Structure 1
Amino acid sequence: MEQDHKSYPIGFAFIDAEGVAEVSAAHSIAAAPTLIYFKGGKEVDRVDGYKPSDIERKLTQHSFDIATTAPPASTGIKEDLNTRLKKLIESHRLMLFMKGSPDNPKCDRMFYIIHFTCFTFYVFGFSKQMVGLLNDINADFGSFDILSNEEVRQGLKTYSNWPTFPQLYLDGELIGGLDVFREEMQDSDFVAKLPKKQANDLNSRLKSLINSHKLMLFMKGDRHQPQCGFSRQIIELLNGAGADYGTFDILKDEEVRQGLKTYSNWPTYPQLYLNGELLGGLDVVRAEMADEGFVSSLPKRS
């Protein structure tokens, strides 16, 4: 929470329940963690135990209560900002305001939860989860990085009366945040009305990428800086065989990363293709490298 504490007009204090047992007793602490919400020095709400959805919901609820007492902004400035926000929201049928971008979502919020003996940190990548849900259904959506514009970030909270991010809009109307969207995803009618990417367009792009080199490797990172052990090992195998190959960094394009899993019915990376056909991942390539006929069929560096 400390990472984005300005998103909530609420102060936070953390107490070691075991170290100050008298405080725990005074507030009837019976579970770890316990979060107590105070207003005007009096307890107004609490969450007993680790219940992320309740924590988020009640933070939002009490933030609303405080935000409604804030002084209004200048009318002229507010109208100009509202016009801009409306245009941004309506720039795509399905529009996501998030931290980061779909290809590089940022970690949204860190909750500091109190245990009796120590502090424990629970991290929720809300923007990353939202993007994942949208990609899972092949949704066609636009996005705006609120970290790049503080005026939009703060203005949208008031404009839509929703103080947290990500925020998802459909046809100019707020759907909500991650929890709301996850619930809506259980409704097949709701999913059906969301705009979808044209599968044929994506498949054409994937086919073009696969065939851009006779031997093509889809990996994490590139041949000079592999970003995982599997990618590094397959690079070593190909280099050891003197192979001439192209590479594509799936970490830089989430659409390709997710689409290729379905296109080739192969859920993991790296993926190696020869003459437009999938060979497989690291284990398959390692086994094939024991076959001299296979090695001789690979294009070689001149």
Structure 2
Amino acid sequence: MTTTGPSPLPQSPTHQLEAYRIAIFKAHCSVVLGTHLEPWARALASQRQPSGPQDPHLRAVIVDDRPTPLLRMTVLNTLLMGRQRWGVTLYTAPASLERSRALFADLAAWVSVVGLRAGEADHFDWLAYNRLLKTAAFWAQLPAPKLLLFQTDTLLIEPPDPAVFAYGYVGSPWAKGRHVSQAFPRYGADLEPLPPVWLTRRFCKTVPEGMSNGNGGLSVRDRQLMVRICQAEAAASPPEEPEDIFFARHLARHDPTPPPPTVVERFSCETAYHASAGAHAAWRYLTAAEVAEMYERHLKQVLALTCAPIS
């Protein structure tokens, strides 16, 4: 067999691998939702006199206009990991309001669904989301002084330490400067192996130097601190600036008691692995072994909490 040179690599193999990792995350969520969270939600909804959240000063908040099974899983998991301390408020676009309310109609005592328009946008795209979260009015109308913000690409693996809510802002640490190189196999036209190609991914390239705390996808926020920073600083923020980078840039000026690195690392992880209580899209960046450990840790917590009595 004559050779005509190596076969071309698949287009963007790192992106294809990342897409596979995201699909595995969604599969994990689907199994946990159907097998464990839905039966738990039925038990929670069947209480004759639902007690509702125990702590009125703490609320979990998500801004999302996609009423999908992944959204339901993320909300139910966040409720479960709250151990009945907090409820959830979902802010959604007017076009998705009815479907979103139907998605959580069985848990009205625990989940509030609120229609919210982000400027002129009919949907919450990336730009509209970041603009919304950089407005003082958004934060001022939130229902509790202490907040847990989460998104559908986040996962509470275990109940977070209540002490984390003493801080004004805690997000997944940014691993500025971290990079990962991976080998992708290759074959020639004769189907004989060729030397692999090494591709390198560099993380947190848009994060300013010296910033660690932190990514806002899964984060603890103090409502008044967010209002104060927006009032003082938002006018100078470019529309395309991510809201978490915006807040992180100004924390040193407005937050006199920042969390120590140990608290930040224990709360959540993203681009560098820690045995944290939560994760934001970490399955896109960490090793397969680290992600597998994360999923098993999560499942064990779900098994324990869904078997516990509902008060």
TM over 0.5: no
- TM-score of the pair, normalised by structure 2: 0.22
Structure (1 or 2) with the larger CA radius of gyration? 1
TM norm structure 1: 0.22
